[in-house]
Structure 1
C-alpha cells in the first residue's frame, strides 16, 4: 500500500516570491493581488501534481523568535514587509480558511521550524512529506521520506527543483544535515547570520565535505593553516552561534493532528465571494465555483418561446401595459452589422419571452408589430449596449426612443478599467448571475456557430435568463451611481450620448473613393522610389521589412553604431532609427519608407476596404466604454488616429468630403481645453488671468519661464513653452521634456522649476491630487467620473511614477472629455429641436465636425459655438475655433 502523503507550504516564502516574481496585478478597486494569485497558482499546481492526502500551510508570526534572543542582530536589517504585500497576507489566510486548509503558526518560532517539526512527525508516522518553499534553508530537512520542492517565480513563470536526500548530496556534495554546518561557516546575509569572516560558500562546502561538521573541523583545526585557520580560531563562537541560528527546530511544541490536515471540500460560497472580490475569474472557472446553473433557470421562471404572430401580439400588449421594455437583441454570430434574428423581452419579474425570427415568424412582419413599442418614448427602455441596438433597429426601419438605462454604459461608469463589458460578465459582477456567455454557447474561432445552429431550447432559456437579470443590474448600479455622486454624469451625459453616437455611425462620413485610390497609387510610386534609393545606398537588394536583414545591412555592412539589441538580434525599431539620424543618409530614407508603407496599408488601402458600397461612406463605430479617461474612441476604422504630423498624412483628410454639393463641413475645435481645465482645477491666478485676458498662454508662459518681456518672446521660445504647458498636463518629467525638446535634463528641469515657480498653484494641485489618489485609490473629474489608480501603490518606482502621472492628468483629460460629451449632446439636441438638415458626423479629440447644409451655415455656427462654449461653467472661458470647407482638410 502506498504511503500517505502530506504537503506543507512555506506560506511566507511562497507569498513573498510570488509577490516579487509576478508583475503588478490588482483588482479594479486597486487592491493588490499579485502575491495571492502567484501563491494560488503554485498551490494548485503542486496539489494536482502531488495529490497529497493531507495539506497545511506554515506562516511566521510577528513576535520575536528564540533566534532573536540568541542573537539580537538576527534578521535586524530585513526591510519591513512592503505595504502592497502586507495587505495581501490576511486575505491569503482567509482563502486558505475557505479552502479548509490548516494554517499553523506558533509564537516564538518561524515557519521553517513548524515545517521541520511537521516533517519530523511525518517521519515518525511513516507519512511522506512534501515541503513547498522558496527557501534553500529547508534542504537540511530532506530525507528518504521528506522531499523539498524548491520553487522560484520569475516574470510569472514558476520553476521547481525537487530534492530528496540523494539529490542534495548529488548537487552539493554534502548531506542535508551538513547543510547546516555549511551555513554556519559561510553565514547568510539575508537572515543576518554572521558566519565566519573570510569563509565563503566555496570554502565552506570544501571544509564540510572534508571534515563533515563544524565540530570536527575544530577538533582537527591544527591540520589547517593560513588565513583560513586564523579566521576559524578567532571566530569559534560565531561559527557555533551561526550553526545554531541556521538549525531548524524540529521539535516545536505544536499539536499536529493529521486528520485535521486531511484534504477537505472547499467552502465554495465563501471562496467564490473572495475570488469575486479579487476578480480571480480564472480560479472561479478552474474550481467550478460558479457552476453554471441549469440553463432553464429556476422553477419559478416562465420562459416563452414566441414563434407566431398571435403570441407576439400578446407580448406587445404586456409591454404597453407595463410601460417598460427590458430587452436584448441577438444577431447571427452576434455581429452588429447583421440583421436581428431574435429578441428577448422581460414581461415580469420572472416571466420572459424569446421572440424567434428563425421560426414561422417573418422578420419584417414581426418588426412591424414591435415597431410601436420600440418607438414609443413613454415606454422606458432598459438594455445592454443600446448604441448598437439603435444601429441594428435602424436597419429594420425602427427609431428607438425612450432610452432609460444601458447596463453596459453604467457598468463602465462604475469601473472604466475593464477590458470587456460583455453581458455575461456584467451579470456575474453585479447580480451574481452565472449565465453562459455567447462564447460558451456558440464557441469561438473556427468552431464558432451562429445562433441559427444552436438548440432552440438553449437559445430560449439563455435569452430569457439574461433579460430577466437586467432589471437587477439596473437596481444595483443605480444605487451605486447615487452613492458615488455620478447620477448627473450618467443620466445627463453618458446615456444621452448613446443616441448621438449611434446617429453619427448611421449617417457616416462621405469619402472620395477615386481620389483615395489615386492617393494609394501615388504612395506605391513613392514607396518604389524610396526602396530603390535604399537598395542603392545598401549596395544590394534585401527585405526592408525584415528586422534581421535590415540589422545586418545597418550594423554589419554599413558599420553604424548598435543602439539596442533584442534576444533575436539587432533592434531596428523607430526609436533606434531616430537615434541614428544623421549617421547615414539611409536612415532618413528608412524612416520615410516606413511612414509611406503605414500610410498605404493602414489608411489608403485600409480606408478603401471599409467604404460602404451602398452609401459611399465610412460608418465608423464610436465607443463609450474603451478608454479609461472617458474619451470617445472609434473603430472599424479608427478615424481618430489619422496621422496629421506628416503632410502626406494630412492629405488623407482631403478624401473625407461633404455628402453632396448642398453641404459643407463645419469643424469646431476647442482651443487649449485641457490647459483651461487645469487653470480651473488648480485655481492658479496667473493662468486664470492669462485666459480671462485672452492672452496667448504659450507666449505668456515663455515670458515667465525664460524671464523676458512678452514682446521679446521668439517663436522658438513659444514653441518650448508650449511643450512645457502641455507636458505639465501629462505630468511630464525632466527626462521626457529633455527628449522632446532636444535639450539637457538640467535645462529641462530648470524649465519645469521655473514653470512651477510662476504657476505655483498648478504645482500644489499636482502634489495634492497624487496624495488624494494614494489615499482614496482613485481620482475624479469635475463630474465625478472615477479612475482607480492601483499603480500609485506599486513597489516599482517606474510603475508608481506612471500612477502619479495618471493621477495628475486624469481629472484634466477626463473633465475635457466630459465637456466635449456635454457639447455633443447639446449640439445634437439643438439641431434636432430646430429640425435642421445639418448633422453631427464626427468627434475627434477636442473637435466636432458638423455636416452643415449651406442654407443653415450661420445658424449652425451660432448653435455650435454657443453649446460648446457653454458646455460647462469654468473660471476661465471655453473658446472654440470654427472653420468650414468642402473637405475635412479644408475645414481645418
Structure 2
C-alpha cells in the first residue's frame, strides 16, 4: 500500500495557477458536525413536522453550498466509512474500540442524506476494507495528477498529512460554528497552518501520532511521550526512523520510553498512515458536477420539509453544474437558507447575537448569578465535599460541560459547571482549558469528580444528557445517576 508523503518545502509552480478545483468531502466528519451543531439546541435537533430527523441533511447541504460558493469547484466526491472492519482493525482489534455508539436519530438522518446526495447527482465513494480517509487520500492524488487543485473538507486533523503545496492538495478545516452560521467558514490549511496548530509539518503528522498516540482513534503511541515531547523529537530528528537511528544521542527517561515503546511506535504509525492507492473503481469524469434531475430531487426536499431549498432549486441546479431554467420571479434569488422547521429553538449561546448585540446587552444589565469559580485545589476539595451531601433525588445537582466543539469526539473540555440550589451563589464553575485566566489540571478535576459523576448515589439533572455523556465518556468518565433531562422533558410539555 502506498502511503502519503508531503513535501515540506515545495517549489512554486505558476503553471498550476488556473487549475480547476476538485472538492473532496469527509462525509462522516461533516455529517457528525452537522448533527451535533443542532443536537445541543433546546429541542435536541432539527425534525420535520412528522418527526423525521433532519439535522444531518440540513447542516450537510448548507455547508456544501457555502463551500461551493467560495471554491467554485468543477468536480466533487464525498467519501464515507462503511462501518465494517478495515485493515487497521485486522492489525489491532482495539482500533477505535472506545468510541461511543451512534445516536439513534443519526441513523435515519444518514439514510436520508445518502438519498439527498443521490438526488443531487453527487458522487459518493466507499471502499471495503478501507476508511474514508484512505479513499480521500487516493482520490486527492488522482485528482492532482489529473490537473485539479484539490481541497479536502473535513474537521479531522488526521487528513493534515495529505497536505502538499506542490501537488496543490489542501484542507478546508471546519470551524466549530461554521454549520450553524456563527463562524467565518472553513479555514484553508496549508503547511504553515498545520505547523501552527500541531507544531509539526504535514509530512510529520503520522510520526507525531506514532509518538504521542491519538486517544480518539485508540492509537497507543509510545507510553509516556506526550505532544510536547513528540514535537521536540521531530524538530530535532525529523522523522520516526531517524529518531530511532539516533537513539544513543537521546538521554534520560525519554530514551528509555522510546526503547521500551519502539514496537508500539511503529504499530501506531501503521494505524495512523493514510493509504493513497486504494483500488477504486471510479473515473474522475464521474465526479464532475453536471446538474441533477429536479423531478428526483424535489420530492426528497419536500419529504425533508426543506422549503428554503425548494425555493432555490434553480440556484442549486447551477451550483451543482446544471443549466438554469427561466423561471422569472418564481424563485427566491437570495443566497440564504433558513432552518427547515419552525419548532426548533437554537441555543442562545450559539445563534443570532452579534458582538455588538452582546456588548449592548451587557451594558443594560449584569447577570444575577454569582457562580463560585473553582480555581484552586482547596476550592475543588471543598466543592466535592459539598456535592457529596446531595443524595436526595428530589434535589438533584444540575451539571453541564463547556467544550471547544459540538462533536464530542473532537471536543476538548474547557470547563465543568454545576448548580445545587436556587440562590445566586448555589453554583460553581471549574475552568480547565481556558486560553486566559487560571485553570485547574484536567486529570486532577476529573479524578476528584469521578466518584460523584460515575455514581448512582448522587442524582443529576442535565440539558441534553446525550451530548454531555459522550463528552465525558471521551474523557474517561462514565456518567451515571441522571434522573432528569430538561430537554427531554420539554417534549411532553
Q: TM-score, length-normalised on structure 2?
A: 0.62
Whole-angstrom distance in 1 between the partners of 2:329 and 2:484: 45
1:563 aligns with 2:247: no
Measured after TM superposition, the shift of residue 227 of structure 1 is: 1.2
1:753 matched residue in structure 2: none
* Kept after mapping to 2: 8 A contact 1:142/1:148: yes
- Which residues of 2 match residues 433-832 of structure 1 at below 5 A? 548=363, 551=366, 563=370, 734=395, 801-802=485-486, 804-805=488-489
Measured against aligned partners, the alpha-carbon deviations of 1:594-620 in whole angstroms (never above 9, x if no partner) come to xxxxxxxxxxxxxxxxxxxxxxxxxxx
Whole-angstrom distance in 1 between the partners of 2:290 and 2:151: 18
2:68 matched residue in structure 1: 47
Measured against aligned partners, the alpha-carbon deviations of 1:707-762 in whole angstroms (never above 9, x if no partner) come to xxxxxxxxxxxxxxxxxxxxxxxxx97569x979xxx9xxxxxxxxxxxxxxxxxx
Measured after TM superposition, the shift of residue 170 of structure 1 is: 5.7
Measured against aligned partners, the alpha-carbon deviations of 1:840-864 in whole angstroms (never above 9, x if no partner) come to xxxxxxxxxxxxxxxxxxxxxxxxx
- Unmatched segments (≥5 aa) in structure 2: 1-16, 317-324, 331-340, 346-360, 373-392, 398-419, 427-462, 470-481
2:176 matched residue in structure 1: 153
Measured after TM superposition, the shift of residue 63 of structure 1 is: 1.1
Measured after TM superposition, the shift of residue 224 of structure 1 is: 0.8
Measured after TM superposition, the shift of residue 795 of structure 1 is: 5.6
Whole-angstrom distance in 2 between the partners of 1:15 and 1:288: 25
Q: Secondary structure at the match of 1:83?
A: coil
1:14 aligns with 2:30: yes
Measured after TM superposition, the shift of residue 152 of structure 1 is: 2.7
- Pick aligned residue for 1:229 from 249, 255, 269: 255
Measured against aligned partners, the alpha-carbon deviations of 1:862-886 in whole angstroms (never above 9, x if no partner) come to xxxxxxxxxxxxxxxxxxxxxxxxx
Structure 2 CA distance for partners of 1:188 and 1:47, relative to 1, 3 Å: same
Measured after TM superposition, the shift of residue 417 of structure 1 is: 5.7
* Kept after mapping to 1: 8 A contact 2:121/2:292: yes
Q: Secondary structure at the match of 2:174?
A: strand
1:273 matched residue in structure 2: 299
Whole-angstrom distance in 1 between the partners of 2:201 and 2:134: 19
Structure 2 CA distance for partners of 1:808 and 1:174, relative to 1, 3 Å: closer
- Pick aligned residue for 1:139 from 157, 160, 165: 160
Structure 2 CA distance for partners of 1:215 and 1:793, relative to 1, 3 Å: closer
Measured after TM superposition, the shift of residue 282 of structure 1 is: 2.1
Structure 2 CA distance for partners of 1:177 and 1:804, relative to 1, 3 Å: closer
Measured against aligned partners, the alpha-carbon deviations of 1:10-55 in whole angstroms (never above 9, x if no partner) come to 0001111121123321111222211221111211111111111110
Measured after TM superposition, the shift of residue 78 of structure 1 is: 1.0
Structure 2 CA distance for partners of 1:2 and 1:799, relative to 1, 3 Å: farther
Measured against aligned partners, the alpha-carbon deviations of 1:450-491 in whole angstroms (never above 9, x if no partner) come to xxxxxxxxxxxxxxxxxxxxxxxxxxxxxxxxxxxxxxxxxx
1:216 aligns with 2:242: yes
1:768 matched residue in structure 2: none
**Which structure is higher in RCO with an 8 Å CA cutoff and minimum separation 6?**
2
1:250 matched residue in structure 2: 276
* Kept after mapping to 1: 8 A contact 2:57/2:116: no
Whole-angstrom distance in 1 between the partners of 2:33 and 2:344: 27
| Structure of greater Rg | 1
* Kept after mapping to 1: 8 A contact 2:161/2:206: yes
Measured after TM superposition, the shift of residue 210 of structure 1 is: 1.2
Whole-angstrom distance in 1 between the partners of 2:95 and 2:329: 60
Q: Pairwise CA RMSD of aligned residues?
A: 3.7
Q: Secondary structure at the match of 2:99?
A: coil
Structure 2 CA distance for partners of 1:807 and 1:548, relative to 1, 3 Å: closer
2:87 matched residue in structure 1: 66
Measured after TM superposition, the shift of residue 563 of structure 1 is: 2.3
1:703 matched residue in structure 2: none
Structure 2 CA distance for partners of 1:211 and 1:54, relative to 1, 3 Å: same
Measured after TM superposition, the shift of residue 243 of structure 1 is: 0.7
Measured against aligned partners, the alpha-carbon deviations of 1:318-373 in whole angstroms (never above 9, x if no partner) come to xxxxxxxxxxxxxxxxxxxxxxxxxxxxxxxxxxxxxxxxxxxxxxxxxxxxxxxx
Structure 2 CA distance for partners of 1:33 and 1:808, relative to 1, 3 Å: closer
Q: Secondary structure at the match of 1:129?
A: strand
Runs of 4+ in 1 over 6 A off after TM superposition: 289-296, 791-794, 796-800
Q: Secondary structure at the match of 2:215?
A: coil
1:179 matched residue in structure 2: 205
Measured against aligned partners, the alpha-carbon deviations of 1:262-298 in whole angstroms (never above 9, x if no partner) come to 01112222222112221212222243489997899xx
Measured against aligned partners, the alpha-carbon deviations of 1:407-433 in whole angstroms (never above 9, x if no partner) come to xxxxxxxx99699xxxxxxxxxxxxxx
2:334 matched residue in structure 1: none
Whole-angstrom distance in 1 between the partners of 2:465 and 2:364: 43
Structure 2 CA distance for partners of 1:107 and 1:182, relative to 1, 3 Å: same
Measured against aligned partners, the alpha-carbon deviations of 1:368-401 in whole angstroms (never above 9, x if no partner) come to xxxxxxxxxxxxxxxxxxxxxxxxxxxxxxxxxx
1:193 aligns with 2:196: no
1:126 matched residue in structure 2: 147
Structure 2 CA distance for partners of 1:62 and 1:274, relative to 1, 3 Å: same
Whole-angstrom distance in 1 between the partners of 2:150 and 2:33: 22
Whole-angstrom distance in 1 between the partners of 2:484 and 2:32: 20
1:76 aligns with 2:97: yes
1:37 aligns with 2:52: no
Measured against aligned partners, the alpha-carbon deviations of 1:228-247 in whole angstroms (never above 9, x if no partner) come to 11110001000000011000
Whole-angstrom distance in 1 between the partners of 2:37 and 2:464: 19
Whole-angstrom distance in 2 between the partners of 1:115 and 1:17: 18
- Unmatched segments (≥5 aa) in structure 1: 297-414, 420-545, 556-560, 566-731, 745-790, 810-892
Q: Secondary structure at the match of 1:9?
A: strand
* Kept after mapping to 2: 8 A contact 1:84/1:793: no
Whole-angstrom distance in 1 between the partners of 2:313 and 2:305: 14
Measured against aligned partners, the alpha-carbon deviations of 1:283-319 in whole angstroms (never above 9, x if no partner) come to 22243489997899xxxxxxxxxxxxxxxxxxxxxxx
Q: TM-score, length-normalised on structure 1?
A: 0.35
1:96 matched residue in structure 2: 117
